[in-house]
């Protein structure tokens, strides 16, 4: 939608946020008493569109495209991505369609304005567009001429790093989830994440992957899936981390020689 298309966007506001509190505690409603933790409500996104139809038939042709775009998601498990550009920067939200209301009083001319709305249970905005999904690919950490030491170890422990370490940058203001795909062969894949403040988080998966097997890890939804079908959160040791705003370092390791194993790590900036 927008310039160069048959749909003029007259109004679009994905930035409205409302915070609410959980009304619990001994004095949740009395004067001067905060009720407890505060959270962002789902975001309601309003969109007003003017299809440039020129006639009833032309309007209907364009309106069917809106019907397709705003159809119910039904049983699909993935959240639709809504992308837009503002100030030369691409953004994205996960939002589902909730209303499509054309003003049909001018239908005979094809000059119809349509009010639309979407709802985002996750009110966060993410980096969007072709370059919004960042990624690094690592092979298991290997060393030569010394010991494999943690990133936080004293520099006096000598180790020459050959591979397995990468830099992750979250340019947003909120911690964001990591999507990690591990392709075998590898024994007990493990990760060490050092945040911008130097805090170290580690986790590993008590599993052995063969050459044709893989794991998919979502640290935000706290899910681990083996070969695309089998949940294996039971094999997790430690806690799945989020990527803090700023620059972090991650290390991919194995309980044995990782060989041709790879870890593909992707994420989006989050606001």
Q: Check residue 245 and give its pLDDT.
A: 98
Helix or strand run (H / E) with residue 65: helix 56-69
Rounded-to-integer distance, Cα 60 and Cα 64, Å: 6
Q: Check residue 256 and give its pLDDT.
A: 76
Rounded-to-integer distance, Cα 91 and Cα 132, Å: 8
Would you place residue 147 in the very low, low, confident or very high pLDDT band (cuts 50, 70, 90)?
Answer: very low
What are residue 105's phi and psi, to 5 degrees?
-65, -25
Structure tokens at 21: 């509190």
Would you place residue 230 in the very low, low, confident or very high pLDDT band (cuts 50, 70, 90)?
Answer: very high
Cα pseudo-dihedral 42, 169, 222, 95, rounded to 10 = 30
Strand partners, 94: 81
Question: Strand 200-205 to strand 208-209: parallel, antiparallel, or no bridges (unpaired)?
Answer: unpaired
Contact 186, 205 (CB under 8 A): no
Q: Check residue 258 and give its pLDDT.
A: 58
Beta strands in 61-174 (DSSP E): 81-86, 89-94, 96-102, 114-120, 126-127, 133-138, 142-144, 160-163, 165-170
Residue among 8, 144, 1 nearest 70 (CA): 1
Q: Check residue 158 and give its pLDDT.
A: 35
Contact 30, 74 (CB under 8 A): no
Rounded-to-integer distance, Cα 89 and Cα 129, Å: 9
Q: Check residue 162 and give its pLDDT.
A: 41
Mean pLDDT of 79-90: 92
Residue among 268, 44, 33 nearest 172 (CA): 268
State the CB neighbour count (10 A cutoff) for residue 42.
Answer: 13
Q: Check residue 74 and give its pLDDT.
A: 87
Would you place residue 257 in the very low, low, confident or very high pLDDT band (cuts 50, 70, 90)?
Answer: low
Percent of the chain residues topping a pLDDT of 90: 69
Tell me which of 256 and 175 has the higher pLDDT: 175
Would you place residue 153 in the very low, low, confident or very high pLDDT band (cuts 50, 70, 90)?
Answer: very low
Q: What is the pLDDT of residues 42-56, one digit of tens each?
A: 999 999 999 988 889
Rounded-to-integer distance, Cα 254 and Cα 204, Å: 9
- Does the pLDDT at position 29 exceed 90? no
């Amino acid at each position: 939608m927008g310039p160069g298309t048959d749909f003029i966007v007259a109004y679009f506001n994905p930035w409205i946020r409302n915070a609410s509190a959980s009304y619990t505690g001994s004095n949740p409603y009395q004067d001067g008493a905060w009720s407890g933790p505060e959270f962002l409500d789902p975001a309601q996104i309003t969109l007003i569109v003017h299809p440039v139809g020129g006639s009833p038939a032309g309007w209907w042709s364009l309106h069917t495209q809106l019907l397709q775009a705003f159809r119910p998601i039904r049983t699909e498990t993935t959240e639709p991505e809504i992308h837009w550009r503002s100030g030369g920067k691409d953004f994205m939200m996960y939002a589902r369609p909730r209303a499509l209301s054309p003003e049909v009083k001018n239908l005979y001319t094809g000059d119809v304005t349509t009010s639309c709305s979407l709802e985002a249970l996750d009110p966060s905005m993410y980096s969007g567009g072709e370059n919004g999904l960042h990624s690094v690919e690592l092979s298991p950490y290997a060393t030569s001429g010394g010991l494999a030491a943690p990133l936080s170890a004293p520099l006096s422990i000598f180790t020459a790093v050959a591979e397995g370490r990468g830099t992750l940058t979250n340019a947003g203001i909120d911690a964001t989830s990591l999507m990690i795909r591990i392709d075998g062969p590898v024994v007990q894949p493990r990760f060490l994440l050092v945040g911008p403040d130097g805090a170290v988080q580690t986790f590993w998966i008590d599993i052995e992957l063969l050459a044709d097997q893989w794991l998919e890890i979502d640290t935000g939804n706290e899910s681990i899936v083996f070969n695309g079908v089998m949940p294996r959160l039971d094999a997790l040791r430690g806690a799945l981390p989020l990527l803090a705003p700023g620059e972090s370092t991650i290390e991919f390791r194995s309980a044995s020689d990782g060989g041709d194993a790879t870890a593909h790590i992707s994420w989006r900036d989050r606001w």
